[in-house]
Amino acid sequence: MSGKTVDELSVGDWAENGRTISEADVYAFGGIIGDLNPLHTNEVVASKSVFGKRVAHGMLTASLLSGVLAHQLPGNGTIFMGLSVKFKAPTYFGDTVTARVEITEIVKRQVTLACTCTNQDGEVVLEGEAKVLAPKK
């Protein structure tokens, strides 16, 4: 895995990566952040919710964007400056989520990227915008 320096980037460049969200992923993430909400951990409680079954943490879905930014675009040496997201649909256990970033603006080293996460059915589960400092030579 590598990356590009700011001089090698262009508006319209994009990258993506997918991951199938497992029960282990949800429990590990929840344990790390201290969020063991029954919507994530208790099938009986979750079955009575608006979701109808257990869901992954929204921030787990959002965190998939970080891997794309850190290892693909811009890549190694990228400094994450900010992220704004809107959750559009739930991510369920077993969903395969594809995180995609696309450069929309470059000003000096600051790069703005449109971000989306879609599930295996092509449904957008998250959309937003990231700002990063791209590596320099």
CATH number of the domain that residue 129 is part of? 3.10.129.10
pLDDT value at residue 5 = 86
pLDDT value at residue 49 = 96
In a domain, 86, yes or no: yes
In a domain, 1, yes or no: no
The pLDDT confidence band at residue 121, using thresholds 50, 70 and 90, is: very high
- How many independent structural domains does the chain possess? 1
Cα-Cα-Cα-Cα torsion 24, 40, 87, 102, nearest 10 degrees, comes to -10
CA dist., res. 106 & res. 7, Å (int): 10
Query: Which residues constitute the domain of residue 23?
Result: 6-133
pTM, to two decimals: 0.92
Say yes or no to pLDDT of 2 above 90: no
The pLDDT confidence band at residue 3, using thresholds 50, 70 and 90, is: confident
In a domain, 97, yes or no: yes
